[in-house]
Amino acid sequence: MNFERLSISDVILIKPNKIGDDRGYFMETFRQSLFEEQAAKVEFRQDNQSLSADAGTVRGLHFQLEPRAQGKLVRCIAGAIYDVAVDIRVGSPTYGQYVGAELTAQNGHQLWVPAGFAHGFCTLVPATEVSYKVTDYYSAEHDRGLRWDDPAIGIVWPDVARTPVLSKKDTLQPLLADLKESFTYTGPNANS
């Protein structure tokens, strides 16, 4: 596996090695020891999976508050997504900025999104399935969000999101300027 730190270095794009032949392929998608060495020393508590029927479905931007904050290891197992992480750590030099990566079933890439980031994605094709590991259990009490189209963040979503399919919850999320302080930056790679 290749671990690539993005322009916000706490967010890591992981590119597994696919070994293929005429039967198909094999790839290792997670190895605890390597993940701890290259990304973060965390314990995953729950696996989640979603199916989005339509291209242009936007899910997010979501996060959980402390003490139930979640780091997420995201991968697309069918179809394709544009996956984003927004830095919401107050005091961070990249506060309010985002990074994104295309994750597809074909490329097998994964995105490590540590606690302190809002996470979301847009499906690029119909019938897209996303699977992700999280470092804490879901907690409705700590569940929060951020507007997917906040101009202060300026996420450049794919064209397919021009008329997005959104949940009611995601249409009502606050702007970054209205977000209550949730996380504090404590230094480079603090959440890794």
Tokens of 99: 């990074």
Q: What is the DSSP letter of 40?
A: -
Under 8 Å between Cβ of 103 and 109: yes
Residue 129 belongs to what H/E stretch? strand 128-134
Catalytic status, residue 142: no
Per the residue annotation, which of 82, 98, 109, 132 is the catalytic one? Answer: 132
Catalytic residue, from 25, 62, 98, 142: name it.
Answer: 62
CA 171/CA 12 separation, integer angstroms: 28
SS (H, E, C) 65-87: CCCCCCCEEEEEEECEEEEEEEE
> If we measure between CA atoms, which residue out of 74, 96, 71 comes closest to residue 86?
96
Catalytically active residues are 62, 132
